[in-house]
Amino acid sequence: MQVVRTVTQWRSIRRSLSSQTQRIGLVPTMGFLHDGHLSLIRIARQHCDIIVVTCFVNPTQFVPGEDFERYPRDENRDLALLKQEGVDYVLLPGGDDIYPEGFSTSIQPPASSQGWCGQSRPGHFQGVCTIVSILFNLVQPHFAFFGRKDAQQCAVIQAMTRDLNFPIEIVLCPIVRESDGLAMSSRNVYLSDEERRRALVLSKTLRLGLTLFQQGVVDSQAVLDEGKKQIQTMEGVRLDYLGVVNQNTFKSVSIIQPGNYYIGAMYVGTTRLIDNMVFGLGEAPCSE
């Protein structure tokens, strides 16, 4: 496994790789890896000859007042895990290397970025689309792998890739959960034991919505009302949003169809958590 710390060094490596004979896979992360990230790498291995993992805590996708500074970092642990997974290249660029002085271009994200996380975190998806475009152009992968926990991000990146004609296949990978149902997230480390217990209300609420749909409830408002009640009665938790959306456009739907997403975001103390499930399916499988 080769650890690459500068854009210049990576460019020279990339020129030595043949796109014709080798399938290159990109797994972009912000580091502090968990089993969710590792599952992306294992899925990437099924498609690709060369796996490139990037660990970069991208400042531009954090909104002012968010946790950019204290976002968890543990480079040595990350590198050990990536080596274990047989990753070929790890890119650990510095912030100034990605955003040098004078940097001023960005991506105006597609329509699916509106509402939900796009509303709670203004500028977030612009930052995501910009860094993902930069990484796409740097790594020039054939495939790029994203976790479905960030469901709206997945829809946004798929639309951006299609709109801008990036010659890259986006592979969306299933959410990995703790045994009690909590979706894995680097931010779970922020949670105290008490908060950790309270955090479960999100996945339980989504699961309940799917059960209601199975029982014949197709009115999204009924599902949302029940869901909001669940979350609002949990102490120490503050609902950000709960929505039933079309899986591509991320527009609200009133009549639930199989394949629609039940999405939610909430604060447990100061920690913001998101999760989603798919009506009629539970967890969405790998998009491949």
Residue type, 40: L
Catalytic residues: 37
User: What gap in Å lies between CA 223 and CA 213, rounded to an integer?
Assistant: 8
* Residue pointed to by tokens 């949003």: 241
- Cβ proximity to its own copies: between 116 and 190 the closer is 116
Give the residues across from 134 on adjacent strands: none
User: What gap in Å lies between CA 203 and CA 67, rounded to an integer?
Assistant: 23
CB of residue 284 to its own copies, shortest distance in Å: 21
CB of residue 151 to its own copies, shortest distance in Å: 18
- Cβ proximity to its own copies: between 106 and 174 the closer is 106
Q: Are 74 and 32 contacting, i.e. CB atoms less than 8 angstroms apart?
A: yes
Binding site for its own copies (CB under 8 A): 7, 11, 14, 18-20, 102-112, 126, 129-130, 133-134, 137-138, 140, 159-160, 163-167, 249
**Nearest-10 Cα torsion for 99, 101, 107, 109:** 70
- Cβ proximity to its own copies: between 133 and 205 the closer is 133
B/e letters for 163-178, b = 16+ CB within 10 Å, e = fewer, are eeebebbbbbbbbbbb
- Cβ proximity to its own copies: between 102 and 216 the closer is 102
User: Dihedral sign, CA of 100, 104, 107, 109?
Assistant: positive
Q: Are 237 and 268 contacting, i.e. CB atoms less than 8 angstroms apart?
A: yes
Report the residue count for the chain.
Answer: 288
Helix orientation angle between 220-232 and 193-214, rounded to the nearest 10 degrees: 160
- Closest-CA residue to 271 (of 209, 206, 183, 207): 183
- Cβ proximity to its own copies: between 7 and 286 the closer is 7
CB of residue 171 to its own copies, shortest distance in Å: 18
CB of residue 123 to its own copies, shortest distance in Å: 11
CB of residue 161 to its own copies, shortest distance in Å: 9
- Closest-CA residue to 126 (of 110, 137, 141): 110
